[in-house]
Structure 1
């Protein structure tokens, strides 16, 4: 059985869970761009606040869409660059898979710097590369590690951990697994038996190469995970 290309979400979820557990109990955490508050269950030890712009409803004809979306659990509905909370009013901010949907991600970092108290925490995940999704609210395909290494210090954050999720071979395998669906949607055709055999063979090759991987994540990966502290 080939697992190559299937680890994007589970690895990210586990990193978020274990990283949130590093934040001391009782602190206030703002989930910026919380959406449906997917990771609220990991925040039971924290005072959780959910913020989002609240305009995405799951529908649309362009790219990948969810079909439905629930904004009813939000505590704050606002632009992420102008969150109506006082300066230094939260101990931590979590922002997961949101930056590609923000017209001004650097403005968001500036706002996070305003909101987080000195010594506080910042947890960010975002794609390194992504397909069009949540359109029309998709403005960047992804962010390299150098984005964080440049801009986080500019806004007073010191990076504690920075991890790449996946590698070149894992990412290619993820997209190989989409080919059947994409062939139907964008080429109006179904794959032949020979096509499916070829794709399965591709996954075998990619899994073998991924096991031998030596830092191909510097070229391509699923996404970057960042944990930082406010100075």
Structure 2
């Protein structure tokens, strides 16, 4: 068999790289874009824990106000996963998220994305959101179900189950409209497999060899197949939850 036939044989056998474990952020961002674009034009929105204000671009039709504690500076930090750099930009409010200096019922909508794991007491934040949100106003939350250490030392929880939202939002006068799991058990395992080469090098000083890389690739194919057949494994493990609630 000549070289052209060998190449052709392997091209025919080649399969596309599985996407399993790679859609965490994409799915979350698409959901946020959809929800934000549905908010009536002219409504006020507070981006609580706004960080770099990445979702401000979808709030052009709204009266956008950003808030953050503005203390994360990754320079010199090396515990867990850190950003290479971080730029808050111009924040409208710099404060503790549980004590925001505005009047009661100041906003039509509050958005808080991937922040709860970085708050020492997220229940206090929910209580504060209830105070400053207008009646019938919307609360948009995303947070991980399970997460690796990141943004340390401001990482206090690995994640939140749906029962946290069902309990605490009800206590604070909210009706839940959407409580959607992002990903599932198999997707989460694949996400960590996708990180394995980096983590092995970072924490074990080991560069995985070609055989080990092939084994990981086979595992990802298996997880892709299992995810395609998934039936509610998100109740065990998922990337996180997307929450849309309304103040009573």
Match of 1:125 among 142, 159, 182: 142
Checking the alignment, whether the CA contact within 8 Å between 1:171 and 1:221 is kept in structure 2 is: yes
The reply on whether 1:45 has 2:31 as its aligned counterpart is no
* 1:72 Cα deviation after fit: 2.6
> Which runs of no fewer than 5 residues in structure 2 stay unpaired?
1-16
Deviations 1:81-103 (A, max 9, x none): 00011000111100000000000
Q: Is the 8 A contact 2:139 2:244 kept in 1?
A: yes
Q: 1:21 Cα shift?
A: 1.6
Matched position secondary structure for 1:74? coil
Asked if the contact 1:165–1:221 (Cα under 8 Å) also holds between the matched residues in 2, the reply is yes
Is 2:214 the partner of 1:191?
Answer: no
Deviation at 1:57, TM superposition (A): 1.5
What displacement does 1:71 show? 2.0
Matched, 1:54 2:70: yes
Match of 2:166 among 135, 149, 152: 149
Q: CA RMSD for the aligned pairs?
A: 0.6
Contact 1:93/1:112 (CA < 8 Å) preserved in 2? yes
Q: After TM superposition, which residue ranges in structure 1, 4 or more long, deviate above 6 angstroms?
A: none
- Give me the TM-score of the superposition, normalised by structure 2: 0.92
Q: Which residue of the partner structure matches residue 24 of structure 2?
A: 8
The TM-score with structure 1 as length reference comes to 0.99
Q: CA deviation at 1:67?
A: 1.6
Contact 1:37–1:73 (Cα < 8 Å) also in 2: no
> How far does residue 78 in structure 1 lie from its aligned partner after superposition?
0.3
**Structure 1 residues without counterparts, runs of 5 or longer:** none
1:22 Cα shift?
2.0
Q: How does 1:55-70 map to 2 (within 5 A)?
A: 55-59=71-75, 60-70=77-87
Aligned length: 231
Q: Tell me, what secondary structure is at the counterpart of 1:164?
A: strand
